[in-house]
Amino acid sequence: MTANEITSRNLINIVKYKFVWLCVTAILLLPGTLGLIYGAVKNHSPLKVGIDYTGGTILQYGVQEDIANQELATLRTELAKAGIDNPNIQIIHANAENQKTNVNLKNIISIRTKFISEETNTENKITQVIAKAHPNSELMSVTSVGPTLGKELFKKSSMALIVAILGMVIYLTIRFKFTYALAAILGLCHDTLFVCGVFALLGIFCGVEVDSLFITAILTLIGFSINDTIVTFDRIRENLRYYSKKMSFGEIVNASVNQTLTRSINTSFSTLITLLALYFFGGVTTRDFVLAMIIGVIVGTWSSIFFCTVLVSIWEDKDSKKLAKAKAL
């Protein structure tokens, strides 16, 4: 058998166009990164963060009627009259009539204010204002986070993430090689940056905020993306065992990516099916979370095929060239 046979089914040439792929990756990252920078400069926070991180109170009222847009303005002035500064009001469409749920829920009015401490009567005041406009409304959820707690949560989550990444680097270095581990982690950074970038843009243009579920979405996509990358790396490792004498490193990378291509796409596709079902039929409260995962799964597949392997092929090829030179001397 010849080495050509395993390259015969190649659809994508990773190594030949490696700089093209890197450029495409960079271009794709650009808008989101600009969004993050814009947010950091303008609002001192790259992402529009929710009360989980800034502190504040969100009250959500379930309403059974349709809500006209001009009503928002009325509500705002009513709330201001009741002494609530600068409330942020949002209407979330629950679309309950499409669902097979027994809950007759059409819209959710979400009101965000500064942190309401227990001493004041602010919560009742707001409920009274809403009840005046919508007698059937129901206070569905109250989320309140103290100002200091938010910062701590952010610090803690980031800490957990960094330690988790370190753990993965160590495991991958033991099972593969440090360069592979580094490439895999850079892939994760790419995915995280991309998803954060998209949400920064969504924050700027649609007012989408990230909450503590967002961190979970990032964690999930990291778990997914590392899986994808490792499967490809595993194939490179296996092919190296059999063909390293017959083929160059670049050819092996190419063959491995193409051999695992069907699997990568099929896996992502089957996960996407579940996520799309959750997005269209799942609850409103998790919609942003699912959106983050959908974007994450797509970029995760992209990065493990076009980014991580390209990095490995660049670094490892240099290593093997150096080795060849050293041998020649």
Partner 1 sequence: MKNKIIMFWAIVLIAIASIFVICTKPTKLGLDLAGGSRLVLEAQTTKAIPQITDDVMNTLQFSIENRVNKLGVSETVVQRVGENRLMVEIPGETDLQKAKTYIGETAQLEFKKPGTDANGNRIWLDADLTGRDLTKSQLTTDSSGQWVVSLEFNSEGSKKFAELTKALVGQEMAIFFNGDLQSAPRVNEAIYGGHAQITGGGDSGFSMEEAQEMVNLLNAGALPVPAKIVEENTVGATLGSDSIAKSKFAGIIGLGFVMLFMIFMYRAPGVIADIALILYSLMLFALFKAIPVTLTLAGIAGFILSIGMAVDANILIFERMKEELRAGRNLFTAINSGFDRAWTSILDSNMTTIIACLILYYFGSSVVKGFALTLAMGVIISMFSAITITKNFMHLIFGTGELKYPALFGLKKSEIGKAYEATETKRENARFGILD
Q: Does 254 engage in binding with partner 1 (CB under 8 A)?
A: no
Minimum CB distance to partner 1 smaller for 33 or for 88: 88
What part of residues 122-181 is at the interface with partner 1 (CB under 8 A)?
138-146, 148-149, 152-153, 156-157, 159-161, 163-164, 167-168, 171-172, 175
Question: 3-state SS of 90-109?
Answer: EEEECCHHHCCCCCCCCEEE
How many residues make contact with partner 1 (CB under 8 A)? 85
Minimum CB distance to partner 1 smaller for 77 or for 270: 270
Minimum CB distance to partner 1 smaller for 196 or for 217: 217
Query: Which residues 6+ apart lie within 8 Å of 24 measured at CB?
Result: 306
Q: Closest approach of Cβ 77 to partner 1, in Å?
A: 27
What part of residues 62-101 is at the interface with partner 1 (CB under 8 A)?
62, 94, 96, 99-101
Minimum CB distance to partner 1 smaller for 78 or for 123: 123
Which residue from 26, 65, 73, 281 is in contact with partner 1, where contact means CB under 8 A?
A: 281
Residues 111, 92 contacting (CB under 8 angstroms): no
Q: Does 263 engage in binding with partner 1 (CB under 8 A)?
A: yes
Structure tokens that stand for 258 in this block: 């193409």
Q: Closest approach of Cβ 186 to partner 1, in Å?
A: 15
Q: How far apart are CA 127 and CA 141, in angstroms?
A: 12
At residue 168, the 3 state secondary structure works out as helix
Residues 38, 204 contacting (CB under 8 angstroms): yes
Q: Closest approach of Cβ 184 to partner 1, in Å?
A: 8
Minimum CB distance to partner 1 smaller for 262 or for 320: 262
What part of residues 189-248 is at the interface with partner 1 (CB under 8 A)?
212-213, 215-217, 219-220, 222-224, 226-227, 230-231, 234-235, 237-238, 242
Query: Which residues 6+ apart lie within 8 Å of 255 measured at CB?
Result: 6, 7, 10, 239, 243, 247
Q: Could you give the C-alpha distances from 306 to 22, 51, 227, 252, 280, in angstroms and in order?
A: 8, 36, 15, 15, 30
Q: Closest approach of Cβ 1 to partner 1, in Å?
A: 5
Minimum CB distance to partner 1 smaller for 140 or for 298: 140
Which residue from 269, 319, 323, 324 is in contact with partner 1, where contact means CB under 8 A?
A: 269
Structure tokens that stand for 316 in this block: 């490892």
The window from 4-12, 36-44, 74-82, 196-204 that contacts partner 1 (CB under 8 A) reads 4-12
Structure tokens that stand for 48 in this block: 């529009």
Minimum CB distance to partner 1 smaller for 74 or for 141: 141
Number of H helices and E strands in the chain, helices first, is: 11, 4
Query: Which residues 6+ apart lie within 8 Å of 257 measured at CB?
Result: 12, 14, 232, 235, 305, 309
What part of residues 288-317 is at the interface with partner 1 (CB under 8 A)?
289, 293
Q: Does 5 engage in binding with partner 1 (CB under 8 A)?
A: yes
Q: How far apart are CA 36 and CA 177, in angstroms?
A: 33
